[in-house]
Amino acid sequence: MNLENICKEIMKSDAEILMVAVSYRTDSHYVEREGTASLQTKEAVEKSLADASLRWVTRRSQRTLGEPLYAMAKYEKAKRITIPFGIYGIILCAVLPDSDVEKIASKLMIIVKKYSD
């Protein structure tokens, strides 16, 4: 699975996406939009992927509301969308703080579906 190509496709899907990070099994990759200031170091992105993976396990165990599709967190400088990537992966996207997360998440879920196991 080519995580770099997945990141590029996600990045192209919406101009409001600032950063995409993908973790799948033991591999990970991330890209930032050219011309924007980095919000996190590479190490911080890798830690965020690990933390998000652990949180997603908890979400999956709470099925009374159905299968979780995505999660969103709002920070001062960005919003972050977290989407499961098959059984063994996770995708994080940082978007502009005033972005329409529902619109972007819908696009991401279509892309993820093409690559999921």
> In CATH, what number is assigned to the domain containing residue 17?
3.30.450.30
Please give the mean pLDDT across all residues of the chain. Answer: 90
pLDDT tens figures, 17-74:
999 999 998 899 999 999 887 888 889 998 998 988 888 887 777 778 888 899 999 9
What count of residues does the chain have?
117
User: Alpha carbon 82 to chain centroid distance?
Assistant: 4
What range does the domain containing 50 cover? 3-115
pLDDT tens figures, 82-94:
999 988 899 999 9
Number of domains in the chain: 1
Q: Which residues contact 40 (CB under 8 A, 6 or more apart)?
A: 19, 48, 94
